[in-house]
Structure 1
Amino acid sequence: MSAAPAAPPAESAERSYPAPELGLLLVPPKARTGWRVVPARVVAMCTVELQKLRHDRTELYTRAIQPALWLLIFGETFTRLKAIPTGGTPYLDYLAPGIIAQSAMFIAIFYGIMIIWERDSGVLTKLLVTPTPRAALVTGKAFAAGVKAVIQAAVVVVLAAVLGVGMTANPLRLLGVAVAVVLGSAFFSCLSMTIAGIVLTRDRLMGIGQAITMPLFFGSNALYPVDLMPGWLQAVSRANPLSYQVDALRGLLIGTPSHLALDFGVLALATVAGITAASALLGRLAR
């Protein structure tokens, strides 16, 4: 009767199975499938965009100057003049949410310049040949603009608090503020990318961006109540997504009467429409 075969040495058995910490180096991770693909690609694109802040933070510092000047000069002056009726709310308190929306819009409205630069450098063409859906590319960039705007909004909130503006400290309300800022910035960045897909050059986009930012700002309720506007401008304000963003921020931060369900609904629909339009024109930009 023959003896049973000897068991393989423990050392060789250990070599046949890689250590857990080396597993990802030897075995590729399982590919995401189904509904998980698009969210993963959106997060990846957003992360790539935000990585740029690690190398150059001057954009955030320089963009903080303009809202600071609005609050310090315009806000303080008109508070003393009492020229704009705000229903018993101090004008500086009334103005601060509008300046948050303004600074977020100014960050996002020129976002198309970056995508034109990516086209010129060949990056956009490489992104479009990957399996990533175009909507995921646009959404990632849009929400990266929103995160940058939230950082800018935090700077304005701190400055407004130093100036004595009475803002809420409720965490849920501040979370709502962040959501409103992200949605508004996502829409305006998609608007910029849509314009980029139409005009195709940085010079034209710069001209159009400068031409529409002030009308969007002054045609909203950021500086004064809608009731003070002439009839035609009130109609413009009601069609302006910035007005709904300001209304939401004002209601959340200082507790003025607002229509939060309508405001967030309009911002969400505008963002979806912006992503759809920018995605449709992304291929034209890359030709």
Structure 2
Amino acid sequence: MSVPTMAKNGPALPMVLLNRVGTMCLVELQKLRHDRTELITRAIQPALWLLIFGETFTRLRAIPTGNLPYLDYLAPGILAQSALFVSIFYGIQIIWERDAGVLSKLMVTPTPRSALIAGKAFAAGIRAIAQAVVVLVLSAVLGVTLTANPLKLLGVMVVVVLGSAFFCCLSITIAGIVMSRERLMGIGQAITMPLFFASNALYPVDLMPGWLQVLNHVNPLSYEVDALRGLLLGTPASLWLDFAVLVGTAVLGIAVASALLPRLAR
């Protein structure tokens, strides 16, 4: 009877896992309902980048972007940046949950550690989508020519979720190593801008010095920006490679963060 039982329960396990991931997402998103001003405050920085940096450099024509106006070139990069900023400090929340005793209670439930981490990672992605909508609306108001193809816009949302999931897991991984909110804040602030400036968000890869081009090729944010430009603006992009890297880094991030979760829960 054990063989039929295994055959019967085996296919149900992925559904149980997905259900628990979805539950964790809903729990995380409930928190956003209690502080809706967060979306407004987080929209200030990308708005300043587009309004001041984008408009100024479009007029200066200081950065060659071919026939593409610089503001158009910049908009996908700022979209990726805003998603990065939403997710890179997510580890602070899990440290708070540890200090409040919430994490230890979650760890004794039947929910797999990977489901706990995946739930938080994709909840960060949903938060980033809300942020991305603000950036896209502002970009359209400023005259950026964006696609209206619903399939491409759906692809944009998938890219944002995958990128945010990885950076959320990176934050949780750092939290599992440093074990302190203050240290995590310092490291998060130290790596955020290098990740941004070592990507193709602000300028074409061809303009970078050789050592920066090497960093660009191992920076997941660069693949996120490349995919967003290809989908939103129709520029040449290696979408299959971009999606493969984003999926791979998200899966790797979930695996590493899940392995460190018991250490964080002590």
Please give the range of the TM-score, normalised by the shorter of the 2 chains: over 0.9
Distance of 1:158 and 1:35 partners within structure 2: 37
Over the aligned positions, Cα root-mean-square deviation in angstroms equals 0.8
The equivalent of 1:252 in structure 2 is 231
Distance of 2:54 and 2:184 partners within structure 1: 31
Residue 169 (structure 2) pairs with residue 201 (structure 1):
no
Letter in structure 1 aligned against 2:217 = R
The equivalent of 1:84 in structure 2 is 63
The equivalent of 1:153 in structure 2 is 132
**1:3-35 C-alpha deviation (Å, 9 max, x unpaired):** xxxxxxxxxxxxxxxxxxxxxxxxxxxxx9532
Q: Which runs of 5+ in 2 are unaligned?
A: 1-10
Distance of 2:228 and 2:24 partners within structure 1: 27
Distance of 1:224 and 1:89 partners within structure 2: 12
Residue 86 (structure 2) pairs with residue 107 (structure 1):
yes
SS in 2 for 1:264: helix
SS in 1 for 2:111: coil
**1:127-161 C-alpha deviation (Å, 9 max, x unpaired):** 00000000000000000000000010000000000
SS in 1 for 2:161: helix
Distance of 1:54 and 1:212 partners within structure 2: 29
SS in 2 for 1:64: helix
Task: Tell me how far 1:60 sits from its aligned partner.
Answer: 1.0
Residue 41 (structure 2) pairs with residue 59 (structure 1):
no
SS in 2 for 1:86: coil
Aligned length: 256
Larger Rg: 1
The equivalent of 2:111 in structure 1 is 132
SS in 2 for 1:155: helix
Task: Tell me how far 1:215 sits from its aligned partner.
Answer: 0.2
Distance of 1:35 and 1:159 partners within structure 2: 39
Calculate the TM-score normalised by the size of structure 2: 0.95
The equivalent of 1:234 in structure 2 is 213
The equivalent of 1:21 in structure 2 is none
Question: After TM superposition, which residue ranges in structure 1, 4 or more long, deviate above 6 angstroms?
Answer: none
The equivalent of 1:43 in structure 2 is 22
Partner residue of 1:75 out of 54, 62, 76:
54
Letter in structure 1 aligned against 2:263 = R
Distance of 2:120 and 2:130 partners within structure 1: 16
The equivalent of 2:157 in structure 1 is 178
Identity across the alignment (%): 75
The equivalent of 2:6 in structure 1 is none
